[in-house]
Amino acid sequence: MIKQAQNKKILVTGHLGFIGFHCVKKLLDNGLNVIGIDSLNDYYDVSLKESRLTELNSHKNKNFKSIIHNLAKKDTKELLKEISPNIVINLAAQAGVRHSLEHPEDYIENNIYSYLNILEYAKDNDVEKIVYASTSSVYGGNEKLPFSETDEVIKPLQFYAVTKRTNELMSEAYSSLYGIKSIGLRFFTVYGPFGRPDMALFLFTKNILDDLPINVFNNGKHMRNFTYVNDIVEGVISAAIKEPNFPMKNHEILNLASKEQIDLMDFIKEIEANLGKKAKMNFLPLQKGDVPSTASDISKMEKFFDYSPQTSMKEGVKNFIDWYLEYYKKN
């Protein structure tokens, strides 16, 4: 798989974000040539992003360049011409379901204008493929489980999902009009080391250690496809550089998730077991914009790319907590 990309220039947008960082690290581990673009915004603690950059800059593979730039700016196409990437992995986005309830305007700029600039560049230049991040949130109020790519996605529950579904429709239009090859990956509840501080595992770990209560929504009655970041990265890189097992349309959408559907209370018990400390729980009703359960049908990803997630929830939670304790001891 990696040999096919040895002479390619791979652009990863959002490379200082959670998934982007791990994606770049894996690409560098495999000796590939990577350019990263990130706006380095302050949606969460910038020092965490700076730590990710420090680690990437210290990698033994020096075929890496980091550029700080807001992709929504009008000069983005000129910058992309200078970089001239063969493959684009678009992970730059304003993340966070809850943040979108209060600041929807952030999502127009960071999720729509930014991606439009990438597509506009690609239509006039030699980009072999775009792989971009979508989300399980596009399934919104759908009640049928597991979620399948053939399901209708017309019931978004928050604006974050609206912008991600818009990205999918933009990709479909540009693929139809200009023949751009693109793959949208619907991520399901990603977690792992160097994760985002606003996500459940990070928040729960911090509050338990600080002897503070954790907010448990829907009174703990949640089921999720918690997916370890290494398994997500494996899927992203396969979609970006691997030849599919079967012919694909110019634009495809694929679910990317673990095979485990985890009860939230079991997830919390695993955190407690690793910390050796019980959580104080503040049970709350279902939060606006949220859904009780998610489950993913990943058969398309398996068919095209032999995708096979490897990390169990037990292993993934332990890896995160080991990282967390080490990182915050140092920092």
* Residues labelled as active-site residues: 160
Q: Which residues contact 57 (CB under 8 A, 6 or more apart)?
A: 64, 66
- What is the spatial distance between Cα 251 and Cα 249, in angstroms, rounded to a whole number? 5
CB 138 within 8 A of CB 169: no
β-bridge mates for residue 130, sequence order: 88, 182
CB 87 within 8 A of CB 10: yes
3-state secondary structure of 151: coil
- What is the spatial distance between Cα 112 and Cα 96, in angstroms, rounded to a whole number? 15
- What is the spatial distance between Cα 11 and Cα 13, in angstroms, rounded to a whole number? 6
Q: How far are the Cα atoms of 34, 202, 205, 282, 325 from residue 328, in angstroms, in the given order?
A: 29, 12, 12, 25, 6
CB 76 within 8 A of CB 228: no
